[in-house]
A and B are shown apart, each in its own frame.
Chain A
Amino acid sequence: MGRNSSMAEVKEKIARKVASFFKPGDVVNLGIGIPTMVGNYIEDGVWLHTENGLIGYGPAPEKGKENEYLTGAGAQFLTAYPGAAAFDSATSFAIVRGGHLTATVLGALEVDEKGNLANWSRPGVIVGMGGAMDLVNGAREVIIAMEHTAKGGKHKILERCSLPLTGAGVVTKIVTDLCVIEVAKEGLVLKEIEEGVTLEEIREKTGARLIVPQHLEKR
């Protein structure tokens, strides 16, 4: 990723990378922000689940074609593909908890080397976890899609999360504008480095120990 990429391009690149992990038949739940953008780049046949009770939604409708019976978890209007199914909230989370969801893609405030995730609560703000805690415990893969650091370069990938956790030991993969990291038993394993990014830069912007396979050491 070029150093001069705009913020929108950076986010799009992260979304495209995450989308490339999915294949037809997968069922995926997307959180808000960069995760929502993943929906723009998934292959045909990857099905999207929204926790308020639908599998098989498509992009936002054209103006004037909004349907009040077809909305997402943020109350936004959706479209549905042929074969879509609607269900109640208990069924929706049976899909999630029962292991029927291939992956959930979420943003993070903090993520650490144990795969702990903090993304629902910051001091002084009362929001609630919604479905995030169920999603991170139930989905077969929990993929974090985010910019590598917070505003001002503050680390988001840490040895230990400091904010209240959404889930303990739940994250499987972290995709940022700099790299792809897998959360393994032994720690955070660097899997891919974005073009034009150096290992040194990644290390500097990561607040945890990174395990770097030999073939990536030269970068």
Chain B
Amino acid sequence: MTADELLASPTTVASSDQPGAPVVLDALTRTYGATRALDRFSLDVAPGEFVALLGPSGCGKTTALRMVAGFDSPDAGQILVDGVDVSQVPAQKRDMGMVFQSYSLFPNMTARDNVAFGLRLRRQRGSQRRQRADELLELVGLAEHTAKYPHQLSGGQQQRVALARALAIEPRVLLLDEPLSALDAKVRAELRDQIRALQQRLAITTLFVTHDQEEALSMADRVCVMSAGRVEQVASPAELYAHPSTAFVAEFVGVSSRIPVERHGDHVTLFGQEVAVRGRVPSADAGPLDALLRPEDVSVHLDPEGPGVVQHHSFLGATTRLEIGFADVVIKTDVASSLARDFALGTRASLRLAAQDVLVSPRRVPAPVVD
């Protein structure tokens, strides 16, 4: 059975006796010198939920995770786990399992001893903790590697031991700090599915930090997009993609092309036709607007008299992304790779709007030209 089949199985929902704890981050603020890493950051995580913190470097996502883990303290705000404020509780007393970005196994211990480390601290008897460690290593597919030292394991195997080690203590919350970022693409994709399957099966409340939108969208129940220490939007992956609440989210999650449009009340004019605005319409004070188009919002057609010119191809497998130049803007759209050869570089084309409505945002002021 694959991870997908596991997810689809009727027993997918929490089979664990101890479902994860609810986590509430309430108005967390943290300042380093002149930099505000977190600015009244709030987030509610339901028991057993998998929430990804997604954002560019420096947006505060790792700071938030480290605060939950107890490695950093907020200047203001509260961290509630199961309704109890743990802001001042030391890391070693929080009962949270954590998997780090870099390989964090103890080099002097075997895989089994690494997994059993937390159990030893909880004074479990030797035979019991060895048995539990072996079970967990079997769980992550490393039953044959229990006696190996970290240097004898590959990167993917080390991260799976780290996951088993974090799960061994039966944590109330599982914290994943970009655990896949050091792995190669293939192992990364497989481990991603497997972590998700395991998290669903054990129903552990999980916070997952990543800057990779594909990881966040494919793994999480909900994604919290962050920018400059603040929450931009918290929503399910589908909601986030289809209905981004801000221009930042629209441009950070998925691919968007920004095109100037004219406002007509609640509509805008695009490709010569009036289109409804998706979501909230910016007030007139916001000034001129841009439309933010997903590749699937437009369809491209060969047109010798068309206004657009194919400027770039990117092969993505089943589809090929085309960049079509129109005067001073570039619009990205996808075509089936089997049709891509018709759109050679320099080919003239026209675009049609395929979406019923479009997301708009106040026009970005171009940077002044310096002579």
| A and B found bound together | no
Using CB atoms and an 8 Å cutoff, list the residues of chain A in contact with chain B: none
Using CB atoms and an 8 Å cutoff, list the residues of chain B in contact with chain A: none
